[in-house]
Amino acid sequence: MERRKPGKAAKPTIADVAALAGVSVSAVSKVVNDRGGISAPTRKRVLDAAAKLRWSPSATAVALRGARTRAIGMVAGRSTDVLATDPHFTLLISGIERELAPADFGLLLHIVGEEPGAEERAYRRLAEERRVDGVILTESRIGDPRFELLRQLRLPAVLVGEPWREDPVASVGAEDQEAGLRDAVRHLLEWGHRRIAYVSGPEDRVHTVYRRRVFRSALAERGLRPWRVLVSDFSAQDAVAATRELLAADAAERPTAILFANDTMAVAGMNAARRLGFDVPGELSVLGHDDLPLGELVFPQLTTVAQDVEALGRAAAVEMFRLLDLPHSPPPAIRPPTLIPRESTGPVADGS
Amino acid sequence: MERRKPGKAAKPTIADVAALAGVSVSAVSKVVNDRGGISAPTRKRVLDAAAKLRWSPSATAVALRGARTRAIGMVAGRSTDVLATDPHFTLLISGIERELAPADFGLLLHIVGEEPGAEERAYRRLAEERRVDGVILTESRIGDPRFELLRQLRLPAVLVGEPWREDPVASVGAEDQEAGLRDAVRHLLEWGHRRIAYVSGPEDRVHTVYRRRVFRSALAERGLRPWRVLVSDFSAQDAVAATRELLAADAAERPTAILFANDTMAVAGMNAARRLGFDVPGELSVLGHDDLPLGELVFPQLTTVAQDVEALGRAAAVEMFRLLDLPHSPPPAIRPPTLIPRESTGPVADGS
DNA sequence: ATGAAAGCGCTAACAA
DNA sequence: TTGTTAGCGCTTTCAT
């Protein structure tokens, strides 16, 4: 019965199962794939044999057979540093996995540096070697070359977040992606702030541009304009520099509140301000974006805008299944970004 | 020449390349795999054809053929929460990828919850479906069942960090894993601290036990004993609770310094202390572990022990290649854990 | 130096 | 209801 040398119990194959169950391989195949045409007793014998042998179909063979690889790819083109400070990526992955795992899909991850071309090479390899059925992307950029590349490679793609205008790509995002930032601006206005500065992300990011627009329009509703807008690269150092620059002005010219593009920057900026002797929120209100756990740990706790990142991940996976014509769960509801008022924002000081 | 319907340029196969080059498929195979027996001109024509068709061997077919899947698996059995606060995992992955990518290996990631059995199921699937050539593990536990499971599954495994006594598993770690913590204790002693408390990680973690031992022995060198040792679950809430408990005592009974098992806990504990009205480091010194970027962002900046996590990841990947009998780079040097003195520790207060 | 052909483990069309 | 068989794209003897 054992075709293998004893002591060298190699991986069982469908043929071993068929032999043990006393049926043909196709019978086994039909059973595991729930094609009809199998009698109940046969079915049971096959299932028993498979269980006893601890066999499940080889993903490789199934993939080769022409079906799917049952793996989704993801490429992170970021420096380790940013990756380490910002759990955005981890949360996203965690959400994606939540959907992939039950469907027995894997997530193939590539973390490449920021060297030019590294990301493109990673996608090419994924496609040419046919390792994945599709890829999930984040952080769309203006004039993002990845969509065209993936179209050429015929790799199904889903973008998390907003595409640039008419970028031809499937994407997932909250219904009202702008809600949180708009609320944040109103929150500051209600507290009497009129000189509000914004430290935005890199210019080439789509969401940078979109958010800046929201910032302006939320202020415009009250007839105001951004006090100052600085562009940063998301790093803590940049946030510190920006904060110093903003606070270097005379009292009458200083912003009374600063909005940062993300929580890491907000925390860095907040501490820079405090080292400069400014009380937060007494003399300066600080607002972040993303609601990292970090925000609750610092003192004062950070007022921020929460994003439902995990739901975004799940939605992306569901959308991918839809693209691949696979059965999938209903798309999850994605909470719109929401203001989380905490301690780093407060009423504008008397003198200001 | 084109076997495909026009406009439907399906993925090229080795046969397409062979046809275009006017040679047999086996010739193409020999060229791409650098087996000998191919004349220079033939070789060139094959390479040209492959380039023109943008062909590379299908990973699936190669894997099926019996070679390797060229993928390494990793299973994270943690709640999303912890994953989001602690970039340890991300850094590790980033290090692993640095080695895998050049070798054209992929990293197949599974994030499973903490439900019992979820992790085991993930490993089983990885093995039974033959999706990966091996797996990399972290966070070894006392009596860790994973090693036996993986042995049964015949899945090569590499552990990052210290195995429990004679756990039969390949592992990578710094030469002197205890250096940092020992230095940290000395650092506190030099500043006059005598009542030093330790808030450790979960009891079932191997490193918890090892570190506690180091803590005790470093104190014993000076004839001292731990003031108090509390066990936590790594969460920020637990750190807050532990800190409150430690500070609730009378002045004479209160620790003058607290060591936390990781930075997240240290930051949470530090802020809990400050909310209680204690000055850090004036009245209480706080020490973390891991050197998360977070530590530099908070105020006061956190004194901590830095681990070379990325090097650990690279070392794990290299060790995996060694296990698989594959060519590999020399194992990277792993910096031993190092004390990073910053602002959260200082001399013990006069009154104490 | 080159090529023909046998599988790797599986699915699906076709026969029985 | 069940079994036989031809590939999926590739590597590898074994001829030539």
Residue A218, CB, less than 7 Å from strand D? no
Residues 34-63 of B with CB under 8 A from A: 54-61, 63
* Domain spans in chain A, listed from the N-terminal domain onward: 14-67, 71-175+310-323, 179-306
Protein residue with the closest CA to the C1' atom of nucleotide D7: A65
Cβ atoms within 10 Å of B177's Cβ, excluding its own: 18
- Structure-derived torsion over alpha carbons of residues B45, B50, B52, B53, reported in degrees to the nearest 10: 140
Instruction: Give the sign of the dihedral formed by CA B290, CA B294, CA B296, CA B302.
Output: negative
B335 backbone φψ class: left, alpha, beta (φ>0; ψ -120 to 50): beta
What is the predicted pLDDT for the residue at A4?
Answer: 38
> Quick check: B108 and A107 CB within 8 A?
yes
What is the predicted pLDDT for the residue at A235?
Answer: 85
Distance A44 CA to D11 C1' (A): 37
Which residues on B lie below 8 Å from A122 (Cβ)? Answer: 101
User: In the structure encoding, which two tokens stand for residue A224, read together?
Assistant: 């105001």
Residue B65, CB, less than 7 Å from strand D? yes
Residue B134, beta-bridge partner list: B72
Spatial distance between the Cα atoms of B339 and B336, rounded to a whole number of angstroms: 10
Looking at residue B320, what DSSP letter applies? Answer: H
Distance B26 CA to D16 C1' (A): 14
**Could you tell me which residues come within 8 angstroms of residue A34 by beta carbon, excluding any fewer than 6 positions away?**
none
Q: Is B223 exposed, middle or buried (0-12, 13-18, 19+ CB in 10 A)?
A: exposed
Which residues on A lie below 8 Å from B56 (Cβ)? Answer: 125, 128-129
CA triple B154-B91-B332, angle to 5 deg? 70
Which residues on B lie below 8 Å from A109 (Cβ)? Answer: 93, 97, 106-109
Which pLDDT tens digit goes with each residue over A73-124?
A: 999 887 777 777 778 888 899 999 999 998 989 999 998 888 888 889 999 9
Closest-CA distance, A236 to chain B, in angstroms, reads 8
What is the predicted pLDDT for the residue at A67?
Answer: 72
What is the predicted pLDDT for the residue at B235?
Answer: 85
Q: Which nucleotide is nearest to B30 (CA to C1')?
A: D11
Half-sphere exposure of residue A242: CA atoms within 13 angstroms, side-chain side: 30
Which pLDDT tens digit goes with each residue over A331-350?
A: 999 999 999 999 999 999 87
Whether the Cβ atoms of residue B93 and residue B109 lie closer than 8 Å to each other: yes
DSSP A76-139: EES-HHHHHH-THHHHHHHHHHHHHGGGT-EEEEEEE-SSTTHHHHHHHHHHHTT--SEEEEES
What is the predicted pLDDT for the residue at A146?
Answer: 92
In 3-state terms, what secondary structure has residue A235? coil
Whether the Cβ atoms of residue B123 and residue B108 lie closer than 8 Å to each other: no
B104 touches A: beta carbon within 8 Å: yes
What is the predicted pLDDT for the residue at A9?
Answer: 52
Phi then psi for residue A292, to 5 deg, are: -70, 150
What is the predicted pLDDT for the residue at B351?
Answer: 60
Q: Which numeric CATH code is attached to B14-67?
A: 1.10.260
Superfamily of domain A71-175+310-323: Response regulator (3.40.50.2300)
| B61, amino acid identity | A
User: In the structure encoding, which two tokens stand for residue A297, read together?
Assistant: 């740990």
DSSP A274-314: HHTT--TTTT-EEE-SB--THHHHSSSPPBEEE--HHHHHH
Distance A39 CA to C4 C1' (A): 42
Lowest mean pLDDT among A18-32, A58-72, B77-91, B160-174: B77-91
Residue B204, beta-bridge partner list: none
User: In the structure encoding, which two tokens stand for residue B54, read together?
Assistant: 């943008």
| pLDDT at residue A5 greater than cutoff 70 | no
Spatial distance between the Cα atoms of A180 and B123, rounded to a whole number of angstroms: 40
User: In the structure encoding, which two tokens stand for residue A62, read together?
Assistant: 């199934």
- Tens of pLDDT along chain B (352 residues) come to 333 333 345 689 999 999 999 999 999 999 999 987 888 999 999 999 999 999 999 999 999 997 789 999 999 887 777 777 778 888 899 999 999 998 989 999 998 888 888 889 999 999 989 999 999 999 899 999 999 999 988 899 999 999 998 788 999 998 898 999 999 999 999 999 999 999 999 999 999 999 999 999 999 999 999 999 999 988 889 999 999 999 999 999 999 999 999 999 999 999 999 999 999 999 999 999 999 888 988 889 999 999 999 999 999 999 999 999 999 999 999 999 999 999 999 999 876 5
Cβ atoms within 10 Å of A80's Cβ, excluding its own: 22
Distance A69 CA to C16 C1' (A): 34
Q: Which fold has domain A179-306?
A: Rossmann fold (3.40.50)
| A131, amino acid identity | R
pTM of the model: 0.90
Closest-CA distance, A98 to chain B, in angstroms, reads 8
Which residues on A lie below 8 Å from B101 (Cβ)? Answer: 110, 112, 122
Residue A7, CB, less than 7 Å from strand D? no
Q: Which nucleotide is nearest to A128 (CA to C1')?
A: D9
Cβ-based contacts (< 7 Å) between B 14-43 and strand D: 14-15, 25-26, 28-30, 32-33, 35
Which residues on B lie below 8 Å from A131 (Cβ)? Answer: 59-60, 71, 106
**Could you tell me which residues come within 8 angstroms of residue A70 by beta carbon, excluding any fewer than 6 positions away?**
A59, A62, A63, A103, A104, A105, A106, A133
What is the predicted pLDDT for the residue at A165?
Answer: 82
Nucleotides of D under 7 A from a protein CB: 1-5, 7-13
What is the predicted pLDDT for the residue at B6?
Answer: 38
| Tokens 């993801």, located at residue | A74
Are both B71-175+310-323 and B179-306 of the same fold?
yes
What is the predicted pLDDT for the residue at B345?
Answer: 98
Distance B67 CA to C6 C1' (A): 17
Partner-chain residue, chosen from B91, B101, B130, that has the shortest CB–CB distance to A60: B130
Average pLDDT over residues A302-322: 96
Distance B32 CA to D12 C1' (A): 14
